[in-house]
Structure 1
Amino acid sequence: MRPFDYQRAEGIDHAGQLIAAENAVAIAGGTNLLDLMKLQVETPQTLVDVNRIGHAEIEDSDDGGLWIGALATNTDTAVHPRVKADYPVLARAILAGATQQLRNRATTGGNLCQRTRCYYFTNIDQPCNKRDPGSGCGAIDGIARLHAVLGTSDQCIATYPGDMAVALSALDATVHITSAHGKARTVPVRDFHRLPGHTPWKDNVLEPGELITGVSLPAPVEGTQIYRKVRERSSYAFALCSIAAIVEMDGDKIARADLAFGGLAHKPWHDPEVGEVLVGQKPGAKLFDKAADVLLRDARGYGENDFKIPLARRTLAAVLAEATGAEL
């Protein structure tokens, strides 16, 4: 780990001013950032501790939804009575994501901003356009088992590793952001993370000097909420494929289907056309296969991760069967 300066922000405005400085990075729980600093993947000149700026509350919003502050820990969020009762897909995703010790430190804002666990990104001796623009993507012709099959580019095939954001995407949450100059804006969580394109080093839409202040959830909806995570071992591991699903039935037909996918792309993947195929239809194997055709129409494997395409198809069918009570 390289030497760095440490500053403690005493408020949101102060934090914005400090992180607006060149090569300054905010730190809350540090569960991802400190690991990357030890590997010299991240080498900030200044760490700005934001743990004293507030924004750790979880409270009801006026529209019947829920506000989750950026510094609310993953543990506090997962065990909150409103989350467990009205947004169980979020609680289940968080609990599937990390050990108790990590959840006690990890925060809402930090979790959204975590970086990929691609082998080439975390090894400074390997080529990686995300870490070292222009050096190439070692994963494309290399070790790609955990890598993306949707939304890739010739610059990067890394996956977003988180679970919480997949559930937030299915819930259609909104990310609240403030800048060093006190200017606030909101971004749908489905638009917060970026695909790699020609700028894979840009993980999300945050600009220099901006901080996440919280996430707002809309009023809860009817239906069954499921989070299923397929991984290589039953203990904590990153998803090969995960699905957050909110499915409502009207008699024998699907009335609502909000689906988001993890482990398949550079960001939590949400394709509204998948839900559109399902709504108004009677659930069954043929319908689920049709939805998978839409989801995977542009999927591309890179050798080692070819298995993810049929895996995603089977996982989608299993989740929809569970949510609707249909037989496969």
Structure 2
Amino acid sequence: MNGTNGMALRFSFKKGIFSVTKQTAVLAIIIMLFIMLFSGTNFYSAYNLLDLLSSASILVILAFGVTFPVICGGCDLSIGGTMCISGIVAIKCMSFLPIPLAILCAILVGAVVGLINGFFVVYQRTEPFIITLGMDMLLKGISQQLTDAHPITTGNPNFMMIANGDMAGIPNLVLIMVLFFALTHCIMRYTQFGRNCYAIGGDYDVAVYSGIPVIKIKWLAFVICGAVAAFAGVLLSSRLNAASSTYGQTTALVVNCGVVVGGTSFAGGIGSIPQSGVGMLVFAVLENCMNMLGIDAYIQQIFKGLVIAMIIWLDCFGRKRKRELV
């Protein structure tokens, strides 16, 4: 009996450790919030907290989109290039189209990028890391050609207000982020498409034998990611009142790593929209805390690099713990 109890305690202890590693993002945010209680700064002011959420919103929206291919066992490193070209398309189209149609054109460009990525990943069995990285470089080059490597601006105040306006004191970007959270979470959590994404990421061969249309589902996941990245690019251009081929240089790395640190594994089949959002908030809170504490920009880079390295290790460690518990 004692031996059985001992085994049960050890199993419970291992399970507890695994559960903690899955909540790394939440723990990191709690620790940072606790530290800032004694910082003597205005971190907890309403203005700073709303500014934090507003600044993080575009990256969080990107994380929601990236979650779809990651859950399916892929990744998308072309989101930075997609943001660049979509913002450029939106501003150029506004010279002869109404704002809603210009934005729709930009989103369609992103969907086409996702369509191409999905084709190579699903039909050609190309490694998603390689093909999406190549697509990112291609899109950055096209963006430079379209703008002659110079920022382009628009004098339309209505376009600027999309990202810079507010409603009852709450920034539009925060409201849009909440809307995207509700939409993507419902799709992933409560639809057959979302359940199929988990099945494909969990075991591709089993999903095929189960009759799931794996090609269609995984392809659509990349299309959704491309469309969301394009809309995020429009929001960024609206916020800055400009579009440029230099935007989003490290966006793909940060967003994909943020998704993983939230608990959505690159192995596929594990994670959720809320976890991806929390993972991105880790980076936003970390940056805001360091800025409030007056930490040098070079030191901030070191901290961010350490966080990214820890993300990859924790993801591998979590998968190893899971295998040991089976």
Q: TM-score range by the shorter chain?
A: under 0.3
User: Which one has a bigger Cα radius of gyration?
Assistant: 2
Structure with greater proportional strand content? 1
TM-score, normalising length: structure 2: 0.23
Structure with greater proportional helix content? 2
Asked which structure has the greater RCO (Cα within 8 Å, sep 6+), the reply is 2
